[in-house]
Every structure is written in structure tokens, then in C-alpha cells.
Amino acid sequence: MPSLLALLVALASSTDAPRVHSISDISQEFTFYMDGRFHTQYLKGVGRDERNWGSLARLDLSNANLLVLSEGDPHVPYSEASMERVLAFAKDGGTVLLMADGRDPMPPGAELAKRFGATLSTVKAAKPLTLVGASADVEYRGGSVLELGPEWTVVVEDAQKQPVLARRALEKGTVLLGSRGLFGHQPDAKDPINAAWVTPLLVEYATKKAIDPQKPFTGAFAEHAREVGPLTLEFTDGTQRFADSIANEYTAVRPHLVALTGVEPSAGMIKKLLILPTGGGGFSSGERIAIAAWWGGYPEHRYPMVELIAHEAGHSWVLPQPEPLWNEPIATYLGIRVGMRLEMKEAKETLERQLAAGRKHDPDYTKVDPLAENAPRDLVWGKSYFVFEELERLHGPGALAKYFTTKRKLVAKERSGYSMDDCVAVWSRAVEKDLFPWFRSLAFRVDAGRTELDDVGR
Ligand SMILES: [Zn+2]
């Protein structure tokens, strides 16, 4: 948590007369790179950036002078209304940067490029690239060349003199269209390639439209919300069709989570579930969980989505006292068990694959301390699954439900911290047997003397 002073200092420097108000779009395709890193790499000292999570067609661009777009994902085509909004912004004086490469099949950005009067091609750009009329170096990660009409001015060309980045005027504004490979992409913002000429280029055209730093400048969030049980689903026009079926999956998954855990989600753990326009890479921040709309090839492949939803929702059953060590494994284990209850064969395969991966480090799961700092990830996950499976075999049926029911009764919401000792004590009381020796036989360094929750069976 930053101090108030640090926040004020950060605010002061960020409002220091920005000349560029950029909006980075993550509604057509979410990437961590577009979620702020583009701005960090190319516009940090000259402007403010906001993100567009909502449908482009609904975006207020009145106090923005630069719109940064990517080629998008085929799951979410640029809608007609969105393309109209982008064109209107440019014609009104704004600058649009579209980073896109042609391929087979073409990305959605190809359609937008067409509206700008350009065609993405599948012809690979040949190195070295040159900045036309200047001597700056051009670093390039690869991509394709453009097919352009006479209204375009080439900014960067390849070794065959084919355009890779170009600009054109569109009434009062400017369109910049170029290969994605000319720009960075690392989520840690450590690759500001070509910033020496990209930044001045963006500033030169964006600032042709004046912005007012005193007036509100905001991005937009996903514009639709719908209550689904304890979750609020948040989505856009483009992700709506995924939201509907993901809501159905959640409805199917929920009773199995209740059956597996023996309890309802923890009180106050109503989460927001944002449908992210991507196939991979979700996140969880406070009350909101974001999941990838076409995760694991959804909706053609259901199991990965069922596992993911059960995983993310499973955290709401575990909180507010997360399990040490297996906070993540237990969430996925719940997903696997839900999948098995739904008779999805991939569930058992996932379980067995992870158990086998863990055994490579600890063949009978009795040697390696999973709480050790250098414990391999596969060992931690495999041993966690092994423990859950064994507890069910030895103390089931419904061992996990006994545990969660007991935990809910014994562990106060206000409690600060929940150690492995606490966890084993709760398990012991749940199955009415002292499990400390058993956990120690599996190389867990646990000690009943370190928890006040232990007072039975000894
Ligand atoms: Zn998780």
C-alpha cells in the first residue's frame, strides 16, 4: 500500500501538463502489455494513458488525442459500430495507431485497416528495416508488409522497399498503421524498442488535437453486468456470447462445489467475474476475478473452463483464511473434482498427470518437504493432490467436506493468519484423528504445539 504522500507525489508528476492523452484498447484482445506497458515504454514522460475495457463503440474519446489499437483476436471481430467510432475519432483530429500484421486467416484488424484504405498482406517483411528519410536504427521482431494507396506516406520500409509502417491524414486527424513487430511486447515493459523515434512520432501527430488536462479524461470499463448466484458477471458487447455460456457453466459447477466442500461460499465473498477477451492469462484483484473468455479452446472444449471457473470460485469457499502451501492447488483440485463429478475424462487425466509429475521429485511422497523454500512446483502441486486423495481414501467419503465444515466452525473470520499447523489441526478434528504424525510421515514439518486449534485426539 503506497503512502498518501507517495500517492500525492505520483499524482502531481502525472498531471504535469500531459500533451498526449492516450487510450490503450484491451477490449478487442486483452494483453498485459496493452494494459499499461505500451504507455510506459513510449509515452510515459509526455502523457497520460487510460485503458478501454469496454466496447469501442461506446468509448468517449472527446478528451483523448491518441487511440492505440492492436490487430485483435478473431473471437472478437471489430464491430461495425466500433470501426465507425474509430474513424470518427480520426476524422475529428485524433490519431489512431493500429499495430497489426496480416496472416492467414486475417486478424480482425485487417477489416479496420481496410476502412483506413490499407490492406494487410501475408508477405513477410525482410530485414533490415529503414526509417525513411532518417538514419535511426529500426529494431524489428518480425511481421508483414502493407499494401497501400497513394494517400499514404511510408515511415518504415523493409529491405525490399515495402512499407512496414505508414501514416495518412484522415480529414483532420492521422492514422498510423504498422507491423506489431516494431513495438515492444513484454509484460514487464523491459523492451521499449524503437522508442527513440516512436515517441516523437506519436507526440507529433497526437498533439495536433489539443487535449484539456483540466477536464476529465477516463477510459471505460466493461459495460454490462449480470448477477449469477454470488458472482457479478462483467462483459462487453464483444464478450457477451462467452459470458452467457460461462454463466451457465458457473450454474452447473456451483452445486458440485457445495457438495464437495459441504458449505456455501464464505460470507461476503461475492466476487465480480470479468470476462476477458483472451484465450489465456487471467488475474484476480481483490473482489474481482478476470477469466479468459476462450480459455482452453472454450466453448468447443469445456473441461478447462469448468476447471478454471471452479478454481476461481473455489477461492471464495476457502477465503478469508487461505490455506498455506496449497491455496492454488486446492482451488484446482476442486476444479478437477467438479470435472470428475461431471464425468469429464480430462479431469482424471489432469489429476494423474500432476501426481506423476510430483513423483519425479519424491517417488512415494515421503521425502521432500513441500514447505521448503526450494520445493519444486510440481512437487508442491503433486503432493497437495496426493494428500487430498489419501485423506479421502482413508477418511472419506466426503473428507474434504468434513474439513471445510469444521474449518468454517473453528476458524474465525477475523483470525490473523492460518498456518500449516492450524490446517492439520483442523483436518484432525474434522476426521477425529490426530493427523500430525501422518503429515510428518509425508515430510511436512508440522507441530501440534504451534496451534491452539489442536485439542482433540491426544
Ligand atoms: Zn487461484
The CA 312 to ligand 1 mean position distance, Å, reads 6
Verify that 132 and 51 share a domain, yes or no: yes
Ligand 1 centroid to Cα of residue 284, in Å, is 8
Q: Is 458 inside a domain boundary?
A: no
Full residue range of the structural domain in which residue 379 is found: 224-450
Q: Tell me, yes or no, whether 125 and 260 share the same domain.
A: no
Say if residue 239 is in the same domain as residue 271: yes
How many angstroms separate the CA atoms of 103 and 117, rounded?
Answer: 18
Please indicate, yes or no, if residue 6 is contained in any of the structural domains. Answer: no
Ligand 1 center to 250 CA (angstroms): 16
DSSP string, 365-393: SSSS-TTSTT--HHHHHHHHHHHHHHHHH
pLDDT of residue 65: 98
pLDDT score recorded for residue 287: 73
Residue 208 has pLDDT above 60, yes or no: yes
Q: Quick check: 68 pLDDT over 50? A: yes
Does residue 294 sit within a domain?
A: yes
Q: What is the mean pLDDT of residues 378-400?
A: 97
Task: Decide if 336 is inside a domain.
Answer: yes
Same-domain check for residues 36 and 179:
yes
User: Do 171 and 242 fall within a single domain?
Assistant: no
Distance 399 CA to ligand 1 centre (A): 22
Instruction: Compute, in angstroms, the gap from residue 309 CA to the centroid of ligand 1.
Output: 10
The predicted pLDDT at position 281 comes to 63
Residue of higher predicted confidence among 249 and 55: 55
- How far, in Å, is the centroid of ligand 1 from the Cα of 154? 47
Give per-residue pLDDT as tens, 395-444.
999 999 999 999 999 998 888 899 999 999 999 999 999 999 999 999 99
CA distance 151 to 20: 25
Q: Which band of pLDDT confidence, cut at 50, 70 and 90, is reported for residue 14?
A: very low
Task: State in Å: Cα 141 to ligand 1 middle.
Answer: 33
Q: Using the mean position of ligand 1's atoms as its centre, give its distance from the Cα of residue 330 in Å.
A: 9
* 90 and 239 together in one domain: no
Report the percent of the chain where pLDDT is more than 90: 80
Lowest mean pLDDT among 45-59, 150-164, 216-230, 356-370: 216-230
CA of 243 to the centre of ligand 1 (A): 20
What CATH number should be reported for the domain holding residue 176? Answer: 3.40.50.880
Q: What are residue 124's DSSP bridge partners?
A: 144
CB atoms < 10 A from the CB of 40, how many? 15
Ligand 1 centroid to 293 CA: how many Å? 16
One domain for residues 160 and 263: no
End of a domain among 206, 238, 256?
206
Q: Name the band, by pLDDT with cuts 50, 70 and 90, for residue 1.
A: very low
CA of 320 to the centre of ligand 1 (A): 14
Of residues 3 and 90, more confidence is placed in 90
Last residue of a domain, one of 177, 206, 235: 206
The whole-angstrom separation of Cα 310 and Cα 269 is 14
Does the pTM exceed 0.85? no
Q: What local confidence, expressed as pLDDT, does residue 456 receive?
A: 52
Q: Are residues 176 and 267 in the same domain?
A: no
Which residues, other chains included, contact 100 with Cβ-Cβ below 8 Å and sequence gap of 6+? 70, 71, 107, 109, 110, 112, 113, 120, 177, 178, 179, 180
Report the pLDDT value the prediction gives residue 12, as an integer from 0 to 100. Answer: 47
Return the axis-axis angle of helices 377-395 and 399-410, rounded to nearest 10°.
100
Position with higher pLDDT, 456 vs 250: 250
**Distance (Å) from CA 9 to ligand 1 centroid:** 34
Q: Are residues 143 and 38 in the same domain?
A: yes
Number of domains in the chain: 2
Please check whether residue 2 lies inside any domain of the structure.
Answer: no
pLDDT for res 318: 81
Assigned domain for 44 exists: yes
176 and 245 assigned to the same domain: no
Q: How remote is the CA of residue 148 from the centroid of ligand 1, in Å?
A: 46
In a domain, 444, yes or no: yes
From 206, 237, 270, give the residue that closes a domain: 206
How many angstroms is it from 310 CA to the middle of ligand 1?
Answer: 10
Higher pLDDT, 321 or 347: 347
Mean pLDDT confidence for 237-261: 91
Rounded Cα distance, 425 and 448, in Å? 7
Task: Classify burial at 290, counting beta carbons within 10 Å of its beta carbon; exposed 0-12, middle 13-18, buried 19 or more.
Answer: buried
Indicate the pLDDT class of residue 458, thresholds 50, 70 and 90: very low
264: confidence class by pLDDT, cuts 50, 70, 90: confident
Task: Please check whether residues 275 and 381 belong to one and the same domain.
Answer: yes
Distance between Cα 432 and ligand 1 center (Å): 29
211 Cα: distance to centroid of ligand 1 (angstroms): 41
CA distance 255 to 104: 43
Answer yes or no: is pLDDT of 95 > 50.
yes
**More confident call, 246 vs 238:** 238
Taking residues 49-78, report their average pLDDT: 97
The answer to whether position 5 is within a domain reads no
Q: What pLDDT is recorded for position 269? A: 61
Q: Would you say 125 and 144 are in contact if contact means Cβ atoms under 8 Å apart?
A: yes
Q: Which helix (H) or strand (E) holds 341?
A: helix 327-341
Query: From ligand 1's centre to the CA of 416, what distance in Å?
Result: 20
Which stretch, 163-167, 241-245, 405-409, 416-420, has highest mean pLDDT? Answer: 163-167
Mean pLDDT of the chain: 92
313 C-alpha to ligand 1 centroid (Å) = 9
Q: What CATH number did the domain enclosing 284 receive?
A: 1.10.390.10
pLDDT score of 6: 52
Query: Does one domain contain both 168 and 309?
Result: no
User: How many A from CA of 38 to the centre of ligand 1?
Assistant: 27
> What percent of the chain stands above pLDDT 70?
94
The pLDDT value given to residue 362: 97
Which residues have CB under 8 Å from 63's CB, separation 6+? 21, 211, 212, 215, 216, 217
How many angstroms does the Cα of residue 328 sit away from the middle of ligand 1? 5
- What pLDDT, on a 0 to 100 scale, did the predictor assign at position 4? 52
